[in-house]
Chain A
């Protein structure tokens, strides 16, 4: 690996860290702009001015925002995520309850989507114009056109309510065996796979199709390579960069962007935690969740960038 690659990777990482810092500023000051505050939300309809200011003082919300921002940032850097006033518990413990759920859902979905979508996309490119290609493309467009909540609700009505094969909730009892857990994951994972694989199928097919009309693939054709050899040996390695980026983009929403799936299946994940935080104006919670989502996004995008850099033979 040469110096130039290291420099580029270093640059990418620096940009990621800078983005994270800017996001922290934006998140903090935008949440400050939300109408109403924790004290008012906590006291509800019967709020009085004295009670609200008493509570604000107890919670330390009467201090200037800039001071609270730096406290929060230093807390984050030292691993202290802050304290949720609404639930009267450390944010870390709230996140710890949900993060494993969200990560599991994201990991299972990725493990299925990535190989499935890529192989379908590649085969569609190999057999471009065939019945298989057209079927895959139209199914992909259909799936991407159906909103997630509709697919989810139809699946529940069919598989849980009528056939009663699967539980309607992915809300796993505390004492669940593996069988129950697997059954509970089938529907939410399917909905997420349907939603995210269409884009990847179409992008990987398009990227390879693009590469197929380049002179070097024409050259391969002229030397007598088979169609699959042309795709796998020549077009694919050159399409890694756009494909990896499309994978990263599709997957980046799996932590914070699955609120519909979490709502329909009552799955206790991070997206719902953040929505709760917004509705109760629980600032430390909103801020922590935003940073986690943003961090996850940046990790994926930066990883995709690095892979793209490494896959570029001109840089090797």
Chain B
């Protein structure tokens, strides 16, 4: 089900045109101008795609001490599920704990600590737990632990980062030792998927101390120093037999990308998470290293408030849609670290993705016609961007160049990253946003497109859409859900003024000795979950 890049759709010449220009000393801006000038033809796939697929077929080896460098760390690092919020925290969660389910490469929940999820109305759920699973302290995992773990996210006093999702669980109770019953405030067929997200890990009943993680997970905490390092040693009693291959995993942050790359090049670490297009050629040139590119992660989108000038004019929106050069953005701005998208938030990897939704083609003539009709030729149109919304200043440049050629003046206003989310995002009439991958279609649509959603970026209002959202949420019929979500994608792509030109890929660099990892659409390092599958070739 994993979405694979289609390498054949992108020619070698395009690649070398860009790379030659870079070698000749072209800056990123030069490159944008060159591509916006129409010098480079359309291309679809990522330059570095496919390099990570070879690991799958090999047999895992046991042993070794794995060292992983993440791109961030701070004293806020935590082992407490309600406080987890950084990428490193998600890594710790999956290293030391387990959840009831895990999300696979199509975001479909697979059972982990749960044996089964049963419901007749999607409102009351009965969860059977696996038996004989033990915590690191020897205690056997049972329903009381699950009730305690999930209830912590509901308790407003603990201010869980997952409270928005968790508060839908109005009742969480133990039926017997191995059965838990959950009642929701309204039907939601996605409960198994929600409980497979980062925060909902299972801890022993009554845990209040988080200086060491006591979980059921593949590794046992040996060292945990916030902002410094986390070390786990293999859990000999792990309930999965064909998992947890290395003897120990050490994780720490190297926020400086150069330092991270140097550490990888000198062999100090095995995996360096989150590399950008600048480091990629160095990784590719080294025979001992490889790059794992995950297509998802986040997207940067161009938002037009439909309740404000000039977005209240339909022709302005259509004009921008025809003027956005998705291929140039993907090639020149994301340099292959992304894939073109179709103006709706569901990832290609999702089982609900509707491939029939096709974005409008890049057509400056048609754009000109629309801008003319809207009376916006020659008028300066302010466009707000910021480094806070990944790559948006460069995307704004591309748009500005293309607009200039048809007589449309876009006045790019680059705002500081500090305060962008509270002062500019959603508030400016024409601006960029950045949204991280979310595990379910329901979460994305409820968060970003429901008529009354706080994060409704273009102020898209459609009662029929809201109705369909509720219907799909409560439906247990997969085919029906796929159909409704498919229609909703088409509606959003056509009517909401949130233009999503590309999903931005994340890339992890690693030694060729590292095996067992595959790109996951939730983002870097296999969706922040490597502990079960990673192995080292000594």
Contact = CB atoms under 8 A, between A and B. Distances in A.
A306 B175 CA distance: 75
A279 B76 CA distance: 10
A279 B74 contact: yes
* Overall SS of chain B's interface: loop
Chain A's interface size range is 35 or more
A272 interface: yes
Interface of A: 35, 42-46, 50-51, 54-55, 58, 84, 86-89, 94, 97-98, 153, 156-157, 160-161, 164, 167-169, 171, 173-174, 263-266, 268, 272-273, 276-277, 279-280, 282, 285
A167 B75 contact: no
Shortest 10 CB-CB distances between A and B: which pairs?
Answer: A160-B266, A168-B266, A276-B74, A168-B262, A87-B75, A268-B228, A87-B226, A168-B263, A86-B76, A161-B265
Chain B's interface size range is 35 or more
A30 B199 CA distance: 35
B75 A277 contact: yes
Contact of B254 (A50, A161, A266, A276): A266
B75 A285 contact: yes
A89 B69 CA distance: 24
B75 A94 contact: yes
Given A153-B258, A279-B74, 4 more contacts: A42-B83, A51-B159, A168-B265, A265-B259
A58 B259 contact: no
A260 B69 CA distance: 18
Contacts of A45: 421
A168 B228 CA distance: 16
Nearest to B265: A161
B156 A54 contact: yes
B164 interface: yes
Interface string B75-90: 1111010010100000
B231 interface: yes
Contact of A94 (B78, B226, B259): B226
17 contacts: A42-B159, A43-B161, A50-B156, A51-B156, A51-B159, A88-B80, A88-B83, A156-B259, A160-B265, A168-B262, A169-B254, A171-B268, A264-B256, A266-B252, A266-B259, A268-B225, A277-B75
B76 A168 contact: no
Interface string B246-278: 000010111110110011011111000000000
Contacts of B258: 153, 264
B231 A97 contact: no
A77 to B, nearest CB: 24
Contact of A97 (B78, B85, B225, B252): B225
B267 A164 contact: yes
B227 interface: yes
Q: Which of A43, A153, A169, A272 is most buried by chain B, counting CB atoms within 10 A of its CB?
A: A169
Given A87-B78, A88-B78, A266-B252, A168 B268 contact: yes
A143 B256 CA distance: 24
Contact of A263 (B256, B262, B269): B256
B211 interface: yes
Contacts of B259: 156, 168-169, 263-266
